[in-house]
Structure 1
Amino acid sequence: SRLPQLPPTLCSNITFIPLSLPYVDGLPLGVESTSKLPIHKVPYLKKSFDKLETQLTEFLKRSPQIKLIIHDFAQHWLPPMVNQLRINLVYFSIFSDSTNAFLGPTSEMLGGSRKSPEDFTVVPTWMDYPNNIAFKLHETVSHKECEDTLSDLERYATVLLNCKILKPIVPLGLLPPPLTSVDDKGDENLEALKKWLDSKQEKSVFYVALGSEVSLSQESMHELAFGIEKSGLPFIWVVRKPHLVEEQFCRQGRTLPLFIEDMIPPSLKNVFSKQGMVLRGWAPQLRILAHSSVSGFLTHCGWSSLIESLGLGKPLILFPIGSSNLGLIARLMHWKKVRFEIERNDVDGSFKSDLVAACIKRVMVDPEGEQLRANALAMKEIFGNEELSNKCLCEFTQAIENI
């Protein structure tokens, strides 16, 4: 139900088959994705997801025409099931190459040399070229909260060992979204947003969006807000609603209510009304980034967001939050010199507003950011290259047909 409607040209080629997530004690009813959960509740979603094996097996037994399953890292239970049904598996990695390299070979994932969170804070020995790809300690500790009894590395290694396309690896490209495909329906404030952007000087505005997966605490949001204010630069900030689970706790009286307005310090509301725009919920991100007045993106380091930003030649203000591989992506962007990362405490991830403001100004206006702004603009030739992307997709199609 969360997927967008198919365009008419694809309706006859694709059929959606609904599978219902089994009930698991601890997982709120109706929640089907990590975007609706705080990190400590994600293990319950994984337990429920693993219980889908029975439904999927029954469906596949009734569907002998299916010859291929494209899947991600979580379905460790797929290989033994589909082997009996003579169905091929293809693993689709949403991770960057540098993340895959950091995770290492399957032998390392299944109980190798890295045992403690600290072991993941150094560049692994097999990445024997100059780089800085490693986690910060607070990132590895945070990720442990979203794992159940089976680690994500164990899930990942199991599916890799059983997929049919692995060597050679088939690159899908960066899949950059073309601006012409952006659907602005449902954005009632688009004209007001465009008018506000048009009133600003070229390359003067920075855009702030922290993705749909992770919500910051009120304390962290306030610190970030003060940092944005101290930068003194015009901005657009997309503030999302709290997690569904947090809202349920509020209704049950277990925590104080959290409203979007509470995430912005009251003392800044008048200042923000003059300095920038705060958007609630959804925003036309690609349209905003493409505007000539926007010249920087304060991002949580989601891979899709970085592709959109660099595809338009916009430099990055890195603020990796949550779990997964966001920290590794931030280090990659740092290594490629298209960003500055907001300085945080390595142990607990805390940060100060002054450092937020300093990082924003370094990327946007300071002389020391001039080279990275030029580097980001040069990256447009790669990240925004539709011809290269289409070539990769054609080669992927051929690989699938060859199976």
Structure 2
Amino acid sequence: MKQTVVMYPGAGVGHVGPMTELANVFLKHGYDVTVVLVEPPFKSTDSAATAIERIAASNPFISFHVLPPLPAPDFAASGKHPFLLMLQLLHDYNERLEAFLRGIPRKSLHSVILDMFCVHATDVCVKLGVPVYTFFVGGASCLSVLTQVPAVIAGRQTGLKELGDMPLDFLGVPPMPASHLIKELLEHPEDEMCKAMTDVWKRNTETMGVMVNTFESLESRAVQSLMDLPGRKLRPIYCVGPLVSKGAKDASDKAERNECLEWLDAQPDRSVVFLCFGSMGTLSAEQLKEMAVGLERSGQRFLWSVRNPAGSNNPKKYLEVRPEPDLDALLPQGFLERTKGRGLVVKSWAPQADVLRHRATGAFVTHCGWNSVLEAVAAGVPMLCLPLEAEQKMNNVCMTEDMGVAVELEGYMAGFVKAEEVEAKVRLVIEGGDGRQLRARAAARREEAEAALGEGGSSRASFAQFLLDVDNLGKQLGE
């Protein structure tokens, strides 16, 4: 009888995507996989629901099960941060998750894999005696820092924000400026968001093991640090990545896909700068114009996915449904006409995995979200870092200093990168002598990524070890 793996990625498209890639690894090993989803509690900015539908449609061998919906909190009217409401909502779904798991014969339920934000569901799995593991969709460097942060915060009377750019020494990563930590962790230790965040990271490493979307040679120091953290017996760490979309099959919207890729087909190898800032990332109206000036002056070819600016820095900006961008209003007058042929601007969505794997793509201006970083690493494309929020500033430090696959666009900490910086760095990566080393390192990382997933590779061995450990655990739980 086939065994079933249940995966619970929460609601974000940035989490459903990589978990679906992990599901495909289980399928190849002969398991059935059910991905359990909750109804998105609000209409997200650029139709994340559509993106999830696209993922489901292109993965017909995976079962997608939506839990019976609970009444969603009133995100817009509540005074609470949406993240806190979302955590509470996921916690409230525990009963429905338990009912679903009880419907699967215990002997055929192999394991439950939880997303990093669904860790409250650990209690359900422990109650049912089911092997439960975390899947961390970020990198090992990020997980290492977040695992060490509670000890840094403990006993402090003030938040870390007042340390400014002071470098903090964490095991496994380059010195990390305090200002680069996730914003909520900089608040006063008693702040509700800070407490909720530290609790989530603490619980992430309290399941029976953590699968991380990375490969050992990309973040070897960080991986080692997770095994050696002082004063903590960490559960096993399994590096099973890079789990990224291979492109093509995810780009079901042929019209949009063809526009980008056909245009790229006509460009020389490694000549195009691709600019894209993830499913949530947006630039201000001023930054969009400045970026355009820098791109135009650089004289380089570019493919740019432009989204409407968010209304504000208010956390509730994620609840806005933003209309399609008016490019003529957002970009400098005459920009589209002057750069015609050399540049292509697309509205809102571009098939990122396909673009990064295209032979014409030579550099990637990114917000440093981990999925995007891994897609570029797997494609051998060097990056220009413009981190916006969440853990992206931490990723930027590791990408530029440890992995050697990126350069940063200075000014991101002040929230504004000048045109001359865009122009200089784009030229450097595409045509500069210094860029040659960066391009060579990116190509070498691509080969490492392929090797990790190949026969006898580290990620393959790590996944095999995971299966062995679950079998042993299953025998113990069954006794």
Q: State if a TM-score over 0.5 links the two structures.
A: yes
Q: Is the 8 A contact 2:383 2:406 kept in 1?
A: yes
What is the identity percentage for the equivalent residue pairs of Structure 1 and Structure 2?
A: 23
Q: Which residue is equivalent to 1:307?
A: 374
Q: Which residue is equivalent to 1:355?
A: 421
Q: Distance in 2 between matches of 1:136 and 1:109?
A: 11
**Structure 2 letter corresponding to 1:356:** V
Match of 2:237 among 162, 169, 172: 169
| 3-state secondary structure, aligned to 2:56 | coil
Q: Which residue is equivalent to 2:393?
A: 327
Q: Is the 8 A contact 2:270 2:360 kept in 1?
A: yes
Q: Residue deviations 1:250-283, cap 9 Å, x none?
A: 99xxxxx873424333342322334300112332
Bigger CA drift: 155-164 or 302-311?
A: 155-164
Q: Is the 8 A contact 2:114 2:121 kept in 1?
A: no
Q: Distance in 2 between matches of 1:61 and 1:190?
A: 42
Match of 2:278 among 211, 217, 232: 211
Match of 2:354 among 287, 297, 301: 287
State the shift of 1:204 in Å.
1.8
Q: Which residue is equivalent to 1:401?
A: 471
User: Which residues of structure 2 form unaligned runs of 5+?
Assistant: 1-48, 211-233, 474-479
State the shift of 1:43 in Å.
4.0
Q: 1:216 to 1:42 in 2, by over 3 A?
A: farther
Are 1:202 and 2:278 counterparts?
no
Match of 1:365 among 428, 431, 452: 431
Are 1:117 and 2:161 counterparts?
yes
Structure with more of its chain in strand, by fraction: 2
Q: Is the 8 A contact 1:82 1:88 kept in 2?
A: yes
Q: Which residue is equivalent to 2:197?
A: 152
Q: TM-score, normalised on structure 2?
A: 0.68
Please give the root-mean-square deviation of Cα atoms over the aligned residues, in Å.
3.6
| 3-state secondary structure, aligned to 1:151 | helix
Greater RCO, CA 8 A, separation 6+: 1
How many residues align? The count is 382
State the shift of 1:125 in Å.
3.4
Q: Distance in 2 between matches of 1:125 and 1:328?
A: 13
Q: 1:250 to 1:395 in 2, by over 3 A?
A: closer
User: Which residues of structure 1 form unaligned runs of 5+?
Assistant: 30-38, 252-256
State the shift of 1:236 in Å.
0.4
Q: 1:269 to 1:8 in 2, by over 3 A?
A: closer
Q: Distance in 2 between matches of 1:5 and 1:289?
A: 22
Q: Distance in 2 between matches of 1:44 and 1:367?
A: 50
Q: Distance in 1 between matches of 2:309 and 2:205?
A: 35
After TM superposition, list the pairs within 5 Å mapping 1:261-280 onto structure 2.
261=327, 262-280=329-347
Q: Which residue is equivalent to 2:143?
A: 100
State the shift of 1:344 in Å.
1.2
Q: Residue deviations 1:16-44, cap 9 Å, x none?
A: 14242532122489xxxxxxxxx964444
| 3-state secondary structure, aligned to 1:334 | helix
Match of 2:445 among 351, 376, 379: 379
Q: Is the 8 A contact 2:238 2:466 kept in 1?
A: yes
Q: Residue deviations 1:29-80, cap 9 Å, x none?
A: 9xxxxxxxxx964444334333323433444455563563211222353344
State the shift of 1:143 in Å.
7.1
State the shift of 1:225 in Å.
2.2
After TM superposition, list the pairs within 5 Å mapping 1:5-20 onto structure 2.
5=56, 10-11=61-62, 14=63, 16-20=65-69
Q: Which residue is equivalent to 2:115?
A: 72
Q: Is the 8 A contact 2:280 2:318 kept in 1?
A: no
Q: Is the 8 A contact 1:117 1:137 kept in 2?
A: yes
Q: 1:295 to 1:103 in 2, by over 3 A?
A: same
Q: Distance in 2 between matches of 1:197 and 1:249?
A: 32
Q: TM-score, normalised on structure 1?
A: 0.80
Q: Is the 8 A contact 2:386 2:412 kept in 1?
A: no
Q: 1:7 to 1:356 in 2, by over 3 A?
A: closer
Q: Distance in 2 between matches of 1:147 and 1:380?
A: 41
